[in-house]
Amino acid sequence: MKRLLALWMACLLVPVSALAAQLRGYQKGEGYQYIQLGSYPQGASGEVQPLLWRVLDVTDGQALLLTEDVLDAQQVIMESDAAVIAARSYRRIDDYAQSDLNTWMNHTMLPTMAGDSGLASALVSGVFGKLYPLTDAQYLNPAYGFSTARYGESKTRFAKVTPYADARGVYHDRLGNAPYWVATVKAADDYKLQIVGYNGHLSYGAYTRVNIGVRPAALLALEQCEITGGSGTRADPFTVRIVGHGSVAAAGAAAARQADHPADTAVAANARRTAASEGAASSPTLAADAASNAKQAPDGQATSSDAGDANAVPPVLARDASPVTLSLLGDVSIGDAFQYRGRASSLTSAILEHGMAWVFARVSGVLQADALTAANLEVCLTESKNKSGKVFPLVAPPSFTEVLTTGGVDVVNTVNNHSFDFGTAGYADTLAALDQAAIGHFGSIVDGRGNISGQTLIVERGGIRFGFAGYSYPQSETLAAMQTQIQALRDEGCDIVIVSLHWGRETYMTPKSGQPAYAAKIIDLGADVIWGHHPHVLQPVQFYKGKPILFSTGNFIFGTMSKVEPATGIFQLHYRKTPEGVVLDSFQVVPCMTQRAPEYQPYPVEDAAQQARIWGFLRTKKAYDGYENLPESFLQSGVVRFSADGAMLAQ
């Protein structure tokens, strides 16, 4: 029996070993080997076909792959304003990781390419994510089979265009050779990125040239793969299967992200239940990750992981142990007022035109690099037309949950003044859509007929358990319910409890007179963070007994909104485990600006004066009993550090 078992185990290992043994990089005189893995539209009408990759290099159990053909066409910075393009006044980048193309490749192209093959889980994240163009230096490397000549005709860098890429507008010569992007920027103050020309010449292309091709490269972890057929030639490529594919839970649009971030989402979704009869919410738990930040490298240094715009990722403030980063966003309304949803200028139309990754494209690098992102969802996800009598009932199709998952949002607060814009049925549709997309949600609602929703949520990241509870327009009598829920979350082992409050005065950039005292009471009940929203603008951040009070985190994405101050931010709390427990290592705000039609995209602010202006909205000199204000140094860095006992450290 033991011999049979050993023989069976050996047979299981043969395919994996065979891949490592048989696969090689480019060899002069022998040329390339080829593998077939994943799929992508390649026919003129978008017909999906298996992808052919050439193997450039095999080192340390990883294979550097490059698609044989130019597969698609895309801009680097996805600017649509003709006047901006003509004036060349669009956003400058000094690194490819800051580009919209990087985000698009990792959040649109990669999920399309991977499908249900498991490919995304077997690709290794690099500085540009998992899918990227090669760099200038790589295209000059003879070890990969390329010419060392930068200029002139270089056949080793030729690439033909697929019929699909041709239909997408890629320029090509009469032989079918096409230009394609290279991940090297000419200069930060210029507007050009490296390209391989149709003749193999290394040159430059304007950011807004739509007809530049996309020829992706990727790094494949061989231990996760096995050869299922083929001889490795171009005519008969190795066919490869991802070992163990199907063991990671995935749901809907969240599948590509969960390849790196496994979670028992089915259990979490099924565990949700209303707690009105119990007096406290029963909290679903989203499964833990092994690393401190699920969307960071193990050493705690920020990476672009599955997303682009990596340069927008703020510095990770690691010390002896890697911090676990919680990002909080303000109002996110991924739809429009019911009466505006069909307009060409609506956010709904922009998403349908540009794709689900469009809205978060310029900030998803930040949100993908943290461990956990939470947003206030201020829209009903429903197909219902039974709107309430509100002037602006907010609605989005349930499928728009993909906007959140591709953008990096993990959990949402669902309780606010728009929760019932389409009645209780519309609210139920919203929760069902979030469950289907494996997006965690929480919130307690009292609408005059009793407590009809009392959900809390627990999410574990890097060994830290975060508990969430949410309330809309909280009153003094709400404190008793809060105390019950906070204690219940503590009883379930939560290290950090976040209380979300939809409160305050709309468009006012200071809190109401009673809010500081109310927030202090919640902290005294055992909460660790007060996360406020509803005013649609930023309000100050203060600390009570070392605990952050975010009175208003402002708008982040809002389709239907009158003109308000567009300053906003990504509010990041970096927590660290110590032998004495979980401590707040630092607080950081990534300054951003919201946008109205037609872009709607929030974006990180890079100008130092504008950064200081946004941070200035968050600092007040008003003194409340037991409160501490942000230090003046915050205006230069947007960062506050803390000692192990919770004291602010001198900068």
pLDDT tens profile 556-571: 998 776 678 999 999 9
- What DSSP element (H or E) covers 472? strand 464-472
Q: Backbone dihedral region of 410: left (phi > 0), alpha (psi from -120 to 50 degrees) or beta?
A: alpha
94: pLDDT confidence band, cut at 50, 70 and 90? confident
Are 308 and 183 contacting, i.e. CB atoms less than 8 angstroms apart?
no
Classify residue 308: in a domain, yes or no: yes
Q: What is the mean pLDDT of residues 176-195?
A: 84
93: pLDDT confidence band, cut at 50, 70 and 90? confident
C-alpha 480/C-alpha 523 separation (Å) is 13
pLDDT at residue 472, rounded to an integer: 92
The letter for the amino acid at 482 is M
**Mean of all residue pLDDT scores within the chain:** 82
The yes-or-no verdict on residue 391 having pLDDT over 50 is yes
pLDDT at residue 81, rounded to an integer: 80
Sign, CA dihedral 340-342-343-349, equals positive
Are 411 and 459 contacting, i.e. CB atoms less than 8 angstroms apart?
yes
C-alpha 307/C-alpha 3 separation (Å) is 47
- CATH code at 295? 3.60.21
Phi, psi of 444 (to 5 degrees): -110, 130
The yes-or-no verdict on residue 507 having pLDDT over 50 is yes
Q: What is the mean pLDDT of residues 90-106?
A: 89
| 128 and 42, same domain (yes or no) | yes
The yes-or-no verdict on residue 3 having pLDDT over 50 is no
User: To which residue do tokens 């390209």 refer?
Assistant: 195
pLDDT at residue 307, rounded to an integer: 27
The yes-or-no verdict on residue 71 having pLDDT over 70 is yes
C-alpha 117/C-alpha 228 separation (Å) is 14
Classify residue 241: in a domain, yes or no: no
pLDDT at residue 153, rounded to an integer: 84
C-alpha 458/C-alpha 55 separation (Å) is 43
C-alpha 240/C-alpha 228 separation (Å) is 6
| 215 and 300, same domain (yes or no) | no
DSSP 304: -
- What DSSP element (H or E) covers 16? helix 2-22
Q: Give SS3 for 507.
A: coil
pLDDT at residue 206, rounded to an integer: 73
Classify residue 75: in a domain, yes or no: yes
Are 52 and 234 contacting, i.e. CB atoms less than 8 angstroms apart?
yes
Higher pLDDT, 251 or 325: 325
pLDDT at residue 246, rounded to an integer: 39
pLDDT at residue 283, rounded to an integer: 62
Region of poorest pLDDT, from 272-281, 318-327, 341-350, 525-534: 272-281
How many domains are contained in the chain? 2
Q: Could you tell me the two tokens for 41?
A: 């539209």
- Winning range, highest mean pLDDT, from 87-96, 120-129, 479-488: 479-488
Q: What is the mean pLDDT of residues 532-546?
A: 96
Q: Where are the alpha helices (DSSP H) in 343-420?
A: 347-354, 364-369, 401-407
| Neighbour tally for 108: CB within 10 Å | 21
| 333 and 395, same domain (yes or no) | yes
Classify residue 207: in a domain, yes or no: yes
| 107 and 196, same domain (yes or no) | yes
pLDDT at residue 390, rounded to an integer: 76
Region of poorest pLDDT, from 214-218, 384-388, 610-614: 384-388
Q: What percent of the chain has pLDDT over 90?
A: 55
Classify residue 234: in a domain, yes or no: no
Would you give the end-to-end CA distance of the chain in angstroms?
Answer: 67
| 129 and 174, same domain (yes or no) | yes
Nearest C-alpha neighbor of 526 from the set 469, 451, 606, 587 = 469
Are 168 and 70 contacting, i.e. CB atoms less than 8 angstroms apart?
no
Three-state secondary structure readout of 387-436 = CCCCCCCEEECHHHHHHHHHHCCCEEECCCCCCCCCHHHHHHHHHHHHHH
Higher pLDDT, 14 or 649: 649
C-alpha 114/C-alpha 119 separation (Å) is 5
Model confidence pLDDT, tens digit, residues 592-605: 999 888 888 999 99
- Winning range, highest mean pLDDT, from 122-131, 196-205, 380-389: 122-131
Nearest C-alpha neighbor of 65 from the set 12, 11, 138 = 138
pLDDT at residue 205, rounded to an integer: 74
- State which residues form the domain around 125: 2-220
Q: Could you tell me the two tokens for 460?
A: 């574990």
Indicate the residue among 167, 200, 220 that finishes a domain: 220
Three-state secondary structure readout of 570-632 = EEEEEEEEECCEEEEEEEEEEEEECCCCCCCCCEECCCHHHHHHHHHHCCCCCCCCCEEECCC
| Neighbour tally for 297: CB within 10 Å | 16
| 481 and 422, same domain (yes or no) | yes
Are 586 and 641 contacting, i.e. CB atoms less than 8 angstroms apart?
yes
Are 427 and 420 contacting, i.e. CB atoms less than 8 angstroms apart?
yes
| 179 and 273, same domain (yes or no) | no
Q: Could you tell me the two tokens for 157?
A: 């860098």
Q: E strands within 323-408?
A: 324-333, 336-337, 372-377, 380-381, 394-396
| 278 and 204, same domain (yes or no) | no
Classify residue 582: in a domain, yes or no: yes
The letter for the amino acid at 406 is T
Indicate the residue among 220, 244, 266 that finishes a domain: 220
pLDDT at residue 403, rounded to an integer: 94
| 297 and 176, same domain (yes or no) | no
| 360 and 213, same domain (yes or no) | no
C-alpha 566/C-alpha 561 separation (Å) is 11
Q: Please enumerate in sequence order all residues whose Cβ is within 8 A of that of 469, keeping only pairs 6 or more positions apart, or say none.
A: 281, 442, 444, 456, 482, 485, 486, 489, 497, 498, 499, 500
Q: What percent of the chain has pLDDT over 70?
A: 82
Indicate the residue among 203, 220, 237 that finishes a domain: 220
The yes-or-no verdict on residue 4 having pLDDT over 70 is no
Which residues is 233 bridged to in the sheet? none
| Neighbour tally for 201: CB within 10 Å | 17
- What DSSP element (H or E) covers 265? helix 265-271
pLDDT at residue 303, rounded to an integer: 26
The yes-or-no verdict on residue 2 having pLDDT over 70 is no
Higher pLDDT, 173 or 331: 331
Classify residue 82: in a domain, yes or no: yes
Are 259 and 248 contacting, i.e. CB atoms less than 8 angstroms apart?
yes
| 172 and 291, same domain (yes or no) | no
The yes-or-no verdict on residue 129 having pLDDT over 80 is yes
pLDDT at residue 340, rounded to an integer: 77
Sign, CA dihedral 38-40-43-47, equals positive
pLDDT at residue 523, rounded to an integer: 97
C-alpha 344/C-alpha 354 separation (Å) is 12
| 65 and 113, same domain (yes or no) | yes
Higher pLDDT, 379 or 305: 379
Classify residue 386: in a domain, yes or no: yes
Model confidence pLDDT, tens digit, residues 404-458: 999 999 999 999 989 988 988 999 999 999 999 999 999 997 555 454 568 999 9
Q: E strands within 243-357?
A: 285-286, 324-333, 336-337
Q: What is the mean pLDDT of residues 48-53?
A: 96
Nearest C-alpha neighbor of 288 from the set 523, 140, 173, 460 = 460
Q: What is the mean pLDDT of residues 274-294?
A: 43
Q: What is the mean pLDDT of residues 494-512?
A: 95
